Structures are given as C-alpha cells and as structure tokens.
Copies of this chain bind each other. A is one copy, B any other.
Amino acid sequence: MSKKVDLTTAVKIMNAAMKKAQEIGVPENIAVVDEGNNLVAFFRMDGAWLGSISIALNKAYTSRAFDMSTKELGAMSQPGKPLFGIQASNDGRLIIFGGGMPLKDGETVVGAIGVSGGTVDQDEEVAAAGIEVF
C-alpha cells in the first residue's frame, strides 16, 4: 500500500519532530506538505522565531518542488554553481539552506517537511526526526 501524507500522518511526523526539538532545546516552526505540494499542517512552538514561520512553510514547499533537501538545492545555488539565481523563481518561495526534506514512499517523493527556528544543523536534525516516523 502506498504511503500518503494525510493530516493524521502529518501530525505524527510533526509530533516526532517537536519531540526532537524539545530534546535539543530549540523552539521550531514545522510545516508539512503533501504530494501536490499543498500545506497539510503547521505548528509554531512557543517562542520560535516569527521570521521562521514563512521559512518553515517554504522549506517544505521547496523540498517537494525539487524532490530533494533544501540543503542539496542550496549547494547547487551558490555563486558560480549551476542553479545560482534560482531563488528569483517560484514567487520568491524557494529556500536554499538546510531544514527542508522530502517525504518518500520508496523512491517516490510524496510530500516534504520544513523546519526553521534553530541553526541549519538543528533544523535538519529536527526534520530528520520527523521523517524517521514516516
């Protein structure tokens, strides 16, 4: 049976991510999108950066948009790299640093999670904890 990012699944992913965020002591914004790259659920943990609301939403969006982590896209988007300038596309919604990761059913991307509120490493650790329960 194929895996699907419905609301119950999204909340399960977000709760696992939040648990990790609490463990490492960083309040995070967490967003999950589905196969159609449409928002399913969002949580702002108490005290999380306000400026990271849109970044979490857009990390999830970016990751599903290109079926890779935002860190991988970021590596290709540095000055001198093949995708430098990609950020100007997609109505300014692309985030090119870590914290967005695809949700996969086997090899197929069926959604994504976006986390923002800590360092990029922390955001990735929290996103990975969410993916683990998918």
Contact = CB atoms under 8 A, between A and B. Distances in A.
Interface of A: 6-7, 11, 34-46, 49-55, 58, 62, 64-67, 74, 77-80, 82-92, 94-98, 119-120
Complex copy number for this chain:
4
Given A40-B44, A82-B97, A91 B7 contact: no
Given A95-B85, A97-B85, A50 B38 contact: yes
Contacts of A11: 43
B74 A50 contact: no
A86 B36 contact: no
Nearest to A71: B82
Nearest to A98: B82
A53 B82 contact: no
A96 to B, nearest CB: 4
